[in-house]
Structure 1
Amino acid sequence: MTTADEVFQKIKSDNFLHEIFSQNTNWESMLDARDSSEFDTLWSAAYKIIQEDGRPETLKAKEAREISFKRIFQLTGNSELAGYASDDLGLVIDALEKKLDIDFINKLWGIYTSGGFPH
């Protein structure tokens, strides 16, 4: 099982985010796909489970969101993309740190580790 520390170290590494976000991709169409009701419902449900845990977002999750936002924005110049991706990655770490096993979040992380952007 992946740990929050392993995810955090990947995010901090020089090449993980670069490999995903330096691709010549139509980010706008991918962002539009994320706005579909299906994706949004699944993402929101996962977020709600984490919020219902009652514990605040972990420091590591906050730091991961900040690092990933800055790097993705630097690579793409797209603040919306950087915001969505950094929220995803913070959610992954927060769930792991709180020992919450959420299928959607596991799939989200799987897409990132395969070099993709969830949409």
Structure 2
Amino acid sequence: MQETAIHHLQTVLQNGSLLSPDMWEQLDIERYLEYRDSADFDTAWIQAYQQLRREGLKPAEEERVREWSRQAFDQVIRASGSSELAAYVSDDMDLVFCAYLLGLDHEFIRELAGHYEQGELPV
């Protein structure tokens, strides 16, 4: 995963603009949640997560990942009012940042990060 993408995600999390305003205007939350629960997406996400070896993270790195995930959750819950959507985005940030810190290069995680880097939810 490119370091520039990670730095971009860190920046947008810090300034509260992880997802673009245009994305929010077009989003049907219920439909998106159904998509996230679909077998294809869920299976790919779980497979990527299972490849992480979280025990390789240092305590300071674990804390940073928790903070980035919390920031994502807070931004999405404020913007959408959906705790389920906020949890998905928070989990995505956890996956992306853990993979980066652990040096895991995984196609699904790169694609996930790419969507967020563009200010949109992964589809």
What is the alpha-carbon distance in structure 2 between the residues aligned to residue 48 and residue 12 of structure 1? 28
Superposed, which structure 2 residues align to 1:38-117 within 5 Å? 38-50=40-52, 52=53, 54-56=55-57, 58-117=62-121
Residues 20 and 120 in structure 2, CA contact (< 8 A), matched pair in contact too: no
What is the alpha-carbon distance in structure 2 between the residues aligned to residue 69 and residue 20 of structure 1? 19
Give aligned pairs, total: 118
- Matched with 1:31 is 33
What is the alpha-carbon distance in structure 1 between the residues aligned to residue 96 and residue 72 of structure 2? 12
Letter in 2 for 1:34: R
Q: What is the TM-score normalised by the length of structure 1? A: 0.85
Moved more, 22-31 or 58-67: 22-31
Q: Which runs of 5+ in 1 are unaligned?
A: none
Q: Which runs of 5+ in 2 are unaligned?
A: none
Give the match's secondary structure for 1:100.
Answer: coil
Residues 65 and 86 in structure 1, CA contact (< 8 A), matched pair in contact too: yes
Distance of aligned partners of 1:44 and 1:20 in 2 relative to their CA distance in 1, 3 Å threshold:
farther
Identical amino acids, percent of aligned pairs: 31
Distance of aligned partners of 1:60 and 1:20 in 2 relative to their CA distance in 1, 3 Å threshold:
farther
Distance of aligned partners of 1:59 and 1:115 in 2 relative to their CA distance in 1, 3 Å threshold:
same
Distance of aligned partners of 1:65 and 1:114 in 2 relative to their CA distance in 1, 3 Å threshold:
same
Q: What is the TM-score normalised by the length of structure 2? A: 0.83
Post-superposition offset of 1:10: 2.3
Give the match's secondary structure for 1:17.
Answer: coil
What is the alpha-carbon distance in structure 2 between the residues aligned to residue 30 and residue 65 of structure 1? 20
How big is the alpha-carbon RMSD for the aligned residues of Structure 1 and Structure 2?
Answer: 2.0
Q: Which runs of 4+ in 1 moved over 6 A?
A: none
Choose between structure 1 and 2: higher helix proportion: 2
